[in-house]
């Protein structure tokens, strides 16, 4: 049984083909610059050289057709035809309140996803385009939606409701939803294994730090609070998103600069965060290099991001009461030792004793590492995330009718014998 996982962004399609019987990835890659020109695919197969091909993809249907072409190619492919693929799992960023778990996609489900696309206008439309394109290219296999928001539907009402007119919730669905759910699910289950505890016995703060950034307070194995809100704009400082700001700022700048609601929304989502402070960088490696070379705005960006991370650790520690571990994951979380060090500095009073040498030597996307001292009451792990594995296991469980909520479903990676492939 081969499972294809698809993650469709506005200008990219990430894919992974997983052999369920052999429990291994047989191919993965990404189509870049979809819809914007000069498109190309980067295709990786274990044991082979990475393959790159230039190919124009004016839409997601063309991108997915290109993926199918490469997967079945006589030289670069890994399957003889797409009939070997049993199902397709699709990342969907926003499911609103309608979806608390992964589901088989039918017309009703697709319509429901479309109904909430205004809550994630940068993400849901390309997710929907990807689903429709994949269904057109692979009409005879099941397609399953895996929602970023589903993991956070366990939050209590006092955590997800905003102190705004209550009718906004009933009329427009205004509440905290949270995102990066599959990543938070995966690394929290792995952290429980590393702690030698059952998930329901663990209180963990998970910190997904990439271009998008979100943090989650996990109490007794379930999400009880998370930093992103109604949309992915709220929360921590991100690559191009502002995160938490005074809510009066948008109206103030719209008035002073004569900006429209669409323009201010674009500025806060695409021109703020690390980019807004530095004026030129979003990649934290570039920010760190420029800061080391004396760029004052890059130094400031690092201080702002790290300070905000520290504040979230402190606030979620207070919310949880007892803290067992903090987990860093995603590109910056896994590779950015300096940002981790700054965020964890002077937190001994809450039980975090950082081993600076271990932390500085931990820059990998493949290895799970403990970066606190042996006597640190609270453990800090760097755990590479694997959202595609969550996609795959949800898909197989739905096909086999064994799927249930994540606290009762036994994921392979929640077992002490699990090894990354």
Residue pair 239/273 in contact (Cβ under 8 Å)? The answer is yes
Query: CA 369 → CA 181, 328, 341, 392, distances in Å?
Result: 22, 10, 14, 25
d(CA 414, CA 139): 33
Dihedral angle of Cα 329, 332, 337, 341, to the nearest 10 degrees:
-80
Residue pair 91/391 in contact (Cβ under 8 Å)? The answer is yes
Q: CA gyration radius for the chain?
A: 21
CA atoms within 13 A on the CB side of 227: 31
Q: In this structure, what are the phi and psi dihedrals at residue 42, rounded to the nearest 5 degrees?
A: -115, 120
Query: CA 65 → CA 88, 131, 140, 172, distances in Å?
Result: 14, 13, 15, 37
Q: Is 148 a catalytic residue?
A: yes
d(CA 155, CA 116): 19
Here the tokens at position 401 are 């009718």
DSSP per residue, 160-202: H--SS-THHHHHH--S-----HHHHHHHHHHHHHHHTS-GGG-
Q: Which of 60, 32, 25 is nearest to 46 (CA)?
A: 25
d(CA 305, CA 310): 9
Catalytic annotation, pick one of 2, 19, 148, 225: 148
**121-153 burial code (b ≥16 CB/10 A, e <16):** ebbbbbbbbbbebbbebbeebebbbbbbbbbbb
d(CA 77, CA 331): 28
* Residues carrying an active site annotation: 148
């Amino acid at each position: 049984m081969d499972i294809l996982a698809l993650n469709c962004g506005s200008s990219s399609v990430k894919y992974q083909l997983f052999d369920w019987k052999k429990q291994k990835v047989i191919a993965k890659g990404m189509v870049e610059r979809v819809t914007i020109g000069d498109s190309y695919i980067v295709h990786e197969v274990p044991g082979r050289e990475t393959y790159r091909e230039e190919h124009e993809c004016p839409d997601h249907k063309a991108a997915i057709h290109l993926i199918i072409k490469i997967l079945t190619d006589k030289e670069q492919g890994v399957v003889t035809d797409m009939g070997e693929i049993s199902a397709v799992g699709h990342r969907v960023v926003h499911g609103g309140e309608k979806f608390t778990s992964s589901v088989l996609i039918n017309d009703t489900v697709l319509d429901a996803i479309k109904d909430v696309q205004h809550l994630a206008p940068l993400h849901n439309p390309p997710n929907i385009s990807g689903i429709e394109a994949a269904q057109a290219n692979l009409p005879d296999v099941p397609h399953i939606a895996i929602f970023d928001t589903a993991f956070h539907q366990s939050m209590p009402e006092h955590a997800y409701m905003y102190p705004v007119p209550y009718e906004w919730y009933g009329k427009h669905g205004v509440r905290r939803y949270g995102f990066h759910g599959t990543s938070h699910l995966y690394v929290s289950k792995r952290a429980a294994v590393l702690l030698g505890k059952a998930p329901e016995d663990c209180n963990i703060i998970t910190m997904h730090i990439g271009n998008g950034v979100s943090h989650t307070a996990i109490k007794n194995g379930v999400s009880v609070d998370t930093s992103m809100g109604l949309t992915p704009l709220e929360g921590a400082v991100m690559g191009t998103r502002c995160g938490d700001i005074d809510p009066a700022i948008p109206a103030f700048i719209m008035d002073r600069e004569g900006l429209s609601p669409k323009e201010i929304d674009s500025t806060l989502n695409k021109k703020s965060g690390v980019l807004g402070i530095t004026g030129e960088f979003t990649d934290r490696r570039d920010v760190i290099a420029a800061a080391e070379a004396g760029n004052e705005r890059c130094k400031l960006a690092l201080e702002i991001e790290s300070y905000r991370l520290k504040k979230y650790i402190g606030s979620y520690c207070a919310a949880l009461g007892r803290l067992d571990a903090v987990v860093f994951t995603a590109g910056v979380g896994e590779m950015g030792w300096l940002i981790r060090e700054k965020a964890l500095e002077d937190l001994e009073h809450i039980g975090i004793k950082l081993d600076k040498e271990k932390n500085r030597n931990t820059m990998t996307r493949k290895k799970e590492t403990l970066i606190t001292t042996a006597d640190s009451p609270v453990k800090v792990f760097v755990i590479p995330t694997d959202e595609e594995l969550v996609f795959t296991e949800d898909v197989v469980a739905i096909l086999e009718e064994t799927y249930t909520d994540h606290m009762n479903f036994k994921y392979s990676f929640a077992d002490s014998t699990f090894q990354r492939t």
